[in-house]
Amino acid sequence: MVLADLGRRINAAVAQVTSSTTSVEEADIDTMLKEISRALLESDVNIKLVLKLRDSIKKKIVNDKTPGLNKKKLIQKTVFDELCALVDCEAQPYKPKKNQANVIMFVGLQGAGKTTTCTKLAVYYQKRNFKVGLVCADTFRAGAFDQLKQNATKARIPFFGSYTETDPVEVARIGVEKFKKQKFEIIIVDTSGRHRQEKELFKEMVEIGDAVKPQQTVMVLDGSIGQSAQQQAQAFKESSNFGAIILTKMDGEAKGGGAISAVAATKTPIIFIGTGEHTQDFETFFPKQFISKLLG
Ligand code: GDP
């Protein structure tokens, strides 16, 4: 089920209870929770999270003795608050500072949208008057440097990469050093994200991290991949200990639930979401706004 449908189903389940003219019985709450749970599960939200959310909503509503109309308001508010809690892990992500070098390293699997998102983030900070540079440390995928170069040129962002150096750690180190010397304030390092040789990939992430010492490591996670997002995020967390997540492909057919579960599993905040292939398809993530929009 796509995100828009999830929102509609949750709304309908809540409305069934809150718009009825009779008083709310426990059985009505159970029916509502069953439908909300089913909708979340069909959007790939992890079952443990769904059960936790269901119990938490039920406890809050049943324990509250507010009568009549206020009870209905309480139901609406409780469902909203608990959905927000699902996407809000409350940890504060790193905030880049002016007049110093902030190195931001990207990690994630190939195809997640890393290279596209690097440019989106670069443009975001450039618009906010940071001096921004891009480093392509993906020497694994043929064409990765050309792709970054093309995006960066279009967005007028200085970039660094190499056609001859095959060691990604070296490219990352040299690129970051160069931009630091030139007093760049945001240095974004794109890394490789092959599907295979996972051990090799994770080793590479650790080595690049040691070489460039990022102030922030961001995991780029495909919002449309379902349940496997959680396991993927946990594996990257162990090797790169990323401090923030950017969810991509939250447009179109995204279910989003798998990625949301990944956020909960790694206790890492989402900072932006990608909503399309173009540079401007990029939104700052605010849990409350996201859930409000989801519920329409
Ligand atoms: P990488 O291998 O992780 O560097 O991934 P790329 O940046 O090359 O992106 C893989 C594909 O996903 C490309 O076709 C992108 O245009 C597309 N893509 C990236 N972000 C988004 C997004 O937010 N929405 C959509 N619909 N497509 C995206």
Per-residue pLDDT of the chain (296 residues; tens, 9 = 90+): 788 899 999 999 999 998 887 888 889 999 999 999 999 999 999 999 999 999 999 999 988 877 666 888 899 999 999 999 999 988 889 999 999 999 999 999 999 999 999 999 999 999 999 999 999 999 988 899 999 999 999 999 999 999 999 999 999 999 999 999 999 999 999 999 876 667 889 999 999 999 999 999 999 999 998 888 998 999 999 889 899 999 999 987 788 899 889 988 899 999 999 999 999 999 999 999 999 988 88
Q: Which residues, in sequence order, are bridge partners of residue 217?
A: 105
Q: What is the pTM of this model?
A: 0.93
Q: Which atom of ligand 1 is nearest to the CA of 248?
A: 23
What's the Cα-to-Cα distance from 225 to each of 2, 45, 65, 286, rounded to whole Å?
Answer: 12, 11, 41, 22
Orientation angle between helical segments 228-240 and 198-212, nearest 10 degrees: 40
CB of 192 closer than 6 A to ligand 1?
no
Place of tokens 């931009």: 179
- Which of 149, 222, 277, 285 most suits a substitution to test ligand 1, by most atoms within 8 Å of the C-beta? 277
Q: How far apart are the first and last CA of the chain?
A: 16
160 close to 182: Cβ distance less than 8 angstroms: no
Q: Angle at which helices 26-42 and 47-63 pack, to 10 degrees?
A: 160
**From the CB of 256, is ligand 1 less than 6 Å away?**
no
d(CA 63, CA 180): 57
Q: What Cα–Cα distance (Å) separates residue 125 from each residue in 26, 108, 128, 284, 289?
A: 50, 21, 5, 12, 21
| CA 290 to centroid of ligand 1, rounded, Å | 21
* Distance (Å) from CA 249 to ligand 1 centroid: 7
Dist. CA 32–CA 36, nearest whole Å = 6
